[in-house]
Structure 1
């Protein structure tokens, strides 16, 4: 018995039995339109990126402007109370099967990767939105998804054919009112926890900067090549990275490369795998290259990885390679810095890239384009680092790690609370829209029990 059938069995006897499509007047594909024109005829186009996943509302502030022909606009124009359903995509950025409620007043359409869902006249649009939230949260949309190469496509007809039970509109409104109030309380707590997590990140940034470059958080000297730097003691001379480090370039991914003869297949790191201070190795791919190419791009334990391009604030982010994958290679957009171990600790260098000084240097020397930025090996080797003795570097690294461990423990607790709040919100929505309790007598006092403000 599926989860939907169980819900039908537990729903109150006076609720109507039917299909999800019985709650819907129409479902139609969206449109991407064409490039905006120089008049007032452009409209907002809602994508999955414009889904507020907490409130389950469409957010128009960053939705792109597009031009839609008047005849097409009459067909696709969203009305307050319509739902926007993500139909095609995949991954965290394109949550196939998720729906949000459109409440805006500005002219808008849904993108061609989405569908516009219009509720029936006897259906409260907020209730329908919560129904879709329950279906998505419980994984019911997965059964209606067809996977192609790298893309998931939702079979809307199959999803809408799911069995469901639903009350009269008056009771739908009571359920929606109850969920609006209770989920708002949960959202308030979630926003508070998010703010605390952000504050911890800022604290880490400040701690690293002050330990490695004391005085960084105050005003810099305002003079010299690097005006953001404070005055440094003689025991911490400023040394260009190229004097104490050599750089190894990575391999170029080339589909036309000859992979016959003496070749090897190895894992290799991309920019996405290198984060500030750590590596994400859950999505490492493999590549087949000639053995001679692999030998030139093989990582060694102690290498410090830095990224060539991406968002401006991520340039030069550093992480130490500890040999997590044997004989691992790295892409040409990831540089491997190999410190002279007699004078430079790789952990010290990786942390230095996360200081105010490191961020100011890479952001000021990065080459910017419209949406991205890049650096190069010359600029990386020109990075000036305060260089105390090796023993002092190790003491400073230990001090920073102790501080980071404290905030990591707190961050883990906050993330646990966020996960708990998310689970309780989902359980509350599911129980309410499937009639597992009577909202007219229910109290939300226990909804956030154990998670104080």
Structure 2
């Protein structure tokens, strides 16, 4: 039996108990994993050294990240702990099953209700852009009709089991993707090592004619449109890939440094990025005009003895990637820097143009074969995510009776 429609705030209490001297484990809310110990997601220290203002949550409380709740950053805590003071901690009432409420919050219908109530879009506070978030008053004002406690538990049990099955299938597809990445890396390393073993190595400095960098003027936080000047961000480079859309628009009236405009055939290397991506190298191909280097990207000029594609291919190998990560330095693990002196020392197989071209072509063919499989795996992951969402929404909105759904493959029977 379903109760009359009521405001959501009548089914829980908002808990605002601060830690003070109490210091249980620090928790975080993950979109994919719910409420988990923060240490399982990151090694970074919390932003605040003093955690006394953090909120306490107890086992069974629902924790909601107000900025990312509409993306699924909600979960039921399985332990007592501390959460960010900006999170919402909700304690379900005696007639409400926490797991059911958690599933309801993640349903497509409820996400739409939350999204329509987000506050802070486009506004500023103390000169900074406010991040959209759900306010507790607006959340509590959403009207819902909950079934009986017994039915809530039956629905929660059903969804826990079915979602666990879907998540296992997703995990297998993600493992396939990891294996594809590992195979590509292994093939590349084997090809580079074979050349280096037969012909030896030489440092990149042997082929250098010069290097330059751009500048990083104050830009707008949107990409430049066609015909507009833009400054490339470090995210425009991934190992072996150049992504020209990753740029920021130069404001009207600002004078572009035309000597920093990138051109077809340029070899670019990031000098600043995360430790995993610093030193990312790629060759610019088919680039539009009016894109500028930033001061965080090297443009390297080479002698005719070596091709930029060969350098970019070898730079994707694990040896140079490890050198970049090991030699990088910075104030935090979120941004690391390398010096060009370290780039000059990159070891390259000492081979001529024919073997350089052969390596690039073989690796390109191998990469294309693996790249053809990746969209298929991603499509399977997308379908599983759609089924997961459709199943949750159908169950909590009463589109089917879970007591008759058990024992059949409901993930195939629910429309996404």
TM-score band by shorter chain is 0.7 to 0.9
SS of equivalent to 1:17: coil
- Number of corresponding residues: 393
| CA distance in structure 1 between the aligned counterparts of 2:39 and 2:78, rounded to whole angstroms | 10
| Cα distance in 2, alignment partners of residues 288 and 97 from structure 1 | 32
TM-score if structure 2 supplies the norm length? Answer: 0.84
How many Å apart are 1:442 and its aligned residue? 0.3
Give 1:190 deviation, angstroms.
0.9
* Contact preservation (8 Å) 1:237, 1:386: yes
What is the distance in 2 between the residues matched to 1:272 and 1:405?
22
Give the secondary-structure state (helix, strand or coil) at the position aligned to 1:77.
strand
Q: CA–CA distance in 2 between the matches of 1:444 and 1:376?
A: 61
Does residue 1:18 correspond to 2:15, yes or no? no
Aligned mates of 1:380, 1:167 — CA distance in 2: 64
Match of residue 381 from structure 2: 418
1:269 match: 232
Q: 1:245: Cα distance to partner? A: 4.7
What secondary structure does 2:4 align onto? strand
- Mapped to 1, the partners of 2:86 and 2:245 lie a distance apart of 27
2:224 corresponds to = none
**Does residue 155 of structure 2 align to residue 182 of structure 1?**
no
Superposed CA offset, 1:386-435 (max 9, x none): 14222322221111011111111222111111110011000000000111
Specify which of 116, 123, 127 is matched with residue 96 of structure 2: 123
Alignment of 1:46-445 (within 5 A): 46=27, 50-62=28-40, 68-69=51-52, 76-88=55-67, 94=68, 98-105=72-79, 107-135=80-108, 138-146=111-119, 147=121, 148=123, 149=129, 151-214=131-194, 231-233=197-199, 237-241=201-205, 243-253=207-217, 266-288=229-251, 294-340=257-303, 342-367=304-329, 369-371=331-333, 372-443=335-406, 445=408
Q: Distance in 2 between matches of 1:435 and 1:290?
A: 58
SS in 1 for 2:194: coil
Q: 1:289 to 1:428 in 2, by over 3 A?
A: closer
User: Matched residues in 2 for 1:137 and 1:423: separation?
Assistant: 16
- Distance (Å, rounded) in 2 between the aligned partners of 1:398 and 1:292: 40
In structure 2, the residue matched to 1:10 is: none
CA drift of 1:347 comes to 1.7
CA distance in 1, matches of 2:362, 2:116: 51
Closer/same/farther in 2, CA of residues 292 and 125 from structure 1, 3 Å limit: closer
Supply the RMSD in Å over aligned alpha carbons: 3.0
| C-alpha displacement of 1:22 | 5.0
How many Å separate the matches in 1 of 2:342 and 2:375? 36
Cα separation, partners in 2 of 1:59 and 1:280, compared to 1, 3 Å? farther
Match of 1:226 in 2: none
